[in-house]
Structure 1
Amino acid sequence: MDVFNEHPLKKRRGRLLWMIAGAVVCLLVLFAGAAYYVDSQLQPTALSDTVKTVTIPSGSSVPQIAAILKQAGLIRNETLFTYYARFEGSGNKLQAGTYQFHPGQTIDQLLTAMANGDTYVETVKFTIPEGWNTEQIARSLEEKGIVKKQDFLREVNEGKFPEYPFVADIPQKEGRKYRLEGYLFPETYEFKKGATAHEVVAKLLGQFEKELKPEWLDTLNKRKLSLDDAVNLASIVEREVVSDRERPIVAGVFFNRMRESWLLQSCATVQFVLGKQRDRITLDDLKIDSPYNTYIHPGLPPGPIANPGRASLAAVVNPAVHDYFFFVTKKDGSSEHYFSKTYQEHLARDAKSRGNF
């Protein structure tokens, strides 16, 4: 009897094993499908250059944050985002605020930004043209609603900037109008809306420091020329010249005149005294008694007359070597100059220039 009953028992065991195997396969398939689904729902949304600005109100729960992100098209699944944030440990670290995200950022990137509070701050672009003086900058800053003119000017003269050692080396010469004139580097900036005057000035000084090449400072030291004197002369070159090609030549003219203890006789310094640009300067203008008037006071003025750009600074560091002592505008529309070695030659070229005009 046992012999005859053994075969049906084996068959039943076989069917049971197949059923178990089938159930295991089904579970594996279900698990794989679920894992695939979860993974796909946690993937970034389609990459896009479109910026999405979202605001997370104070006190928002993770599900509420997930709903905001889903509505903005930044995540695929609210529920899975919520579980992932809690599992990953950042669920209770997410901060309120306004953020800017791009579709295509990963969930980890979104969570990290919100956990760090990397909120979006509205900014304002501001360009300082080469050769602008401090008052022009202050006026434009106020017109654009960035900072008040008087706050900026006060910071320029009284602000403390220990992070920039060159500021401490600026000499406080008698008659100097603005302490940081010349060091407010001309460039395009982006300021946070609501920035303080101190923050604005610090950013301009920071850019000036970036522009200072170590080899420039080495050259100035070898020539025994202080940084402030270099900036001062560069500001005059900036206001005298339009063509970058001519800047080293004009710088060379001024160095030649200083070497011979001649007056610089720069019309740009007189324009600074007048406080506005004039097409013509009169003989009376040349006689104005101001320490900035290089027609009557020897050497450099008490401080820079504008904020020079890269080309003018480079021209003073590496001026052209020549025998010119004079230059005069051609007045032929080219904005370039005639250069002369002698006063007689200069008078002849000045007459020629006036003929062109």
Structure 2
Amino acid sequence: MLQPNLDQETILRRNHEAKVVRRVVLLVLAILIFSIIGLGIGGYVYIKGALEPVDASSKKPIEVEIPIGTSTSEIANKLEEKGVIKSALVFKYYVKYKNDNDFQAGNYELTKAMEMKDIILSLKDGKVYKEPEMTVRIAEGLRIPQVASKIAEQTEYTEDEVLKKMQDKKYIQSLVEKYPVLGDEILDEKVIWPLEGYLFPATYEFFKKDPSLESIIESMVSKMSTVVTKYQANIEASGYTTHEILTLASIIEEEAKEKEDRFKVSGVFHNRLNKPMRLQSDVTVTYAQQQSKITVTYKDTETNSPYNTYVQKGLPIGPISSPGDSAINAAVNPEPNPNYYFFARPNGEVLYAKTLDEHNVIKEKYIQEWRDLANKDKD
């Protein structure tokens, strides 16, 4: 009687074991795939449901108060607590995905029948259910003394009270600690107005009859913080700090009055900064002198100040006005161009030149226009 071939038996056993292992692996993979698909479908259904109204049939108004300085997370939690959204977590991620975080403070009237996108739109547009007790409007390009004057015109605070608060070191320090947009650069003793460039120009509505001066100022800083957040990735990619970008934006704000010129003017300034060349911006001279005039003289350009870009290399020590959204956008998104000079006419037209010779020809052509305005100023 022949003995079985042991090698053949071993091979047959191993083949059988391999088949069993393959079946187990395929089964596990199938379970994982179906689990992932299931989680994906479940996640999609959950998120889709969270974006829909809590109760499409409920039109009952629900009052939601959004105080100044409220973060997106705090808003999300408040909306969930009030029952107008299903998930604070989905709200936070949806807002981040859509880059919709420019919310307005106020008292809102929302309903459970509203979709999340409609709630976000209301918070962005500032559509509130009652009229504000006080409105403060601040235009683009104003300097701190002008901002103080506007606040005084629209509130019961005097201009001196506002300016005193703007120079209150203890108060400024408290804002620096609260708002990351404010860096230690503004605490430099050579900085004329610490909050210059950090009070966002906009219309502010207050729902208390007598809002504190601190809350008025803080609402402007908070708004600037929100706007800067929108451009944070651009700022980091630019190689400049937030303080430097706001400084450049404030110069662009004053130099280019038309929005379409701001990106090209920014390109000129970036060209000079990269050369490097002094910016030689007249508006930095008038700021250094704390004056407001149309023309500057050769003697003016010799003003010894860290704000004067005729003597100061690179950017000034700080902003020289309140830049708006388009000026900040232009500062981080300069329009590439070959120019190193520009000449801004009194009528708002900006003329560009590649070389100093070309620039001087343009200046000579329109210099009488400037002289006439300068003489008119003197009169």
Superposition TM-score, scaled by structure 2 size: 0.58
Distance 2:324 2:238 in 1: 21
Matched, 1:286 2:301: yes
Shift of residue 253 of structure 1?
0.9
Shift of residue 356 of structure 1?
6.5
Structure 2 residue matching 1:327: 3-state secondary structure: strand
1:76-225 equivalences under 5 Å are 123-157=133-167, 158=169, 159=171, 160-161=174-175, 162-168=177-183, 170-191=185-206, 192-214=208-230, 216-225=231-240
AA aligned opposite 1:238: E
Q: Deviations over 1:283-311 (max 9, x none)?
A: 22222222211112212111100000011
| Counterpart in the other structure of 2:374 | none
Unaligned 5+ runs, structure 1: 1-119
Question: Is the 1:146–1:195 contact (alpha carbons within 8 Å) kept by the matching residues of 2?
Answer: no
Shift of residue 121 of structure 1?
9.5
Unaligned 5+ runs, structure 2: 1-129, 371-379
Q: Deviations over 1:57-112 (max 9, x none)?
A: xxxxxxxxxxxxxxxxxxxxxxxxxxxxxxxxxxxxxxxxxxxxxxxxxxxxxxxx
Matched, 1:343 2:353: no
Structure 1 residue matching 2:157: 3-state secondary structure: coil
Closer, same or farther: CA 194–163 of 1 in aligned 2, 3 Å = same
* Deviating more after overlay: 219-228 vs 313-322: 219-228
Distance 1:279 1:152 in 2: 27
Shift of residue 262 of structure 1?
1.1
Question: Is the 1:292–1:301 contact (alpha carbons within 8 Å) kept by the matching residues of 2?
Answer: yes
Distance 2:188 2:300 in 1: 24
Shift of residue 213 of structure 1?
4.1
Question: Is the 2:183–2:243 contact (alpha carbons within 8 Å) kept by the matching residues of 1?
Answer: no
Question: Is the 2:135–2:154 contact (alpha carbons within 8 Å) kept by the matching residues of 1?
Answer: no
AA aligned opposite 1:347: N
1:222-261 equivalences under 5 Å are 222-261=237-276
Structure 1 residue matching 2:181: 3-state secondary structure: helix
Structure 2 residue matching 1:323: 3-state secondary structure: coil
Distance 2:144 2:349 in 1: 26
AA aligned opposite 1:210: T
Distance 1:122 1:238 in 2: 29
Distance 2:255 2:272 in 1: 15
Question: Is the 1:173–1:303 contact (alpha carbons within 8 Å) kept by the matching residues of 2?
Answer: no
**Which stretches of structure 1, 4 residues or more, deviate above 4 A after TM superposition?**
168-171
Q: Which one has the largest radius of gyration?
A: 1
| Counterpart in the other structure of 2:46 | none
Question: Is the 2:132–2:205 contact (alpha carbons within 8 Å) kept by the matching residues of 1?
Answer: no
Distance 1:312 1:175 in 2: 25
Question: Is the 1:124–1:190 contact (alpha carbons within 8 Å) kept by the matching residues of 2?
Answer: yes
Among 362, 366, 376, the residue aligned to 1:353: 366
Superposition TM-score, scaled by structure 1 size: 0.61
Q: Number of matched residues?
A: 237
Question: Is the 1:147–1:195 contact (alpha carbons within 8 Å) kept by the matching residues of 2?
Answer: no
AA aligned opposite 1:127: R
Question: Is the 1:251–1:320 contact (alpha carbons within 8 Å) kept by the matching residues of 2?
Answer: yes
Shift of residue 226 of structure 1?
0.4
Question: Is the 2:285–2:301 contact (alpha carbons within 8 Å) kept by the matching residues of 1?
Answer: yes
Closer, same or farther: CA 171–273 of 1 in aligned 2, 3 Å = closer
Structure 2 residue matching 1:291: 3-state secondary structure: coil
AA aligned opposite 1:155: K
Matched, 1:313 2:337: no
Shift of residue 259 of structure 1?
1.1
Question: Is the 2:268–2:341 contact (alpha carbons within 8 Å) kept by the matching residues of 1?
Answer: yes
Shift of residue 122 of structure 1?
6.9
Shift of residue 195 of structure 1?
2.0
The percent of aligned pairs where both chains have the same amino acid is 29
Q: Deviations over 1:182-213 (max 9, x none)?
A: 01000011234422221111111111122224
Distance 1:224 1:305 in 2: 21
AA aligned opposite 1:220: I
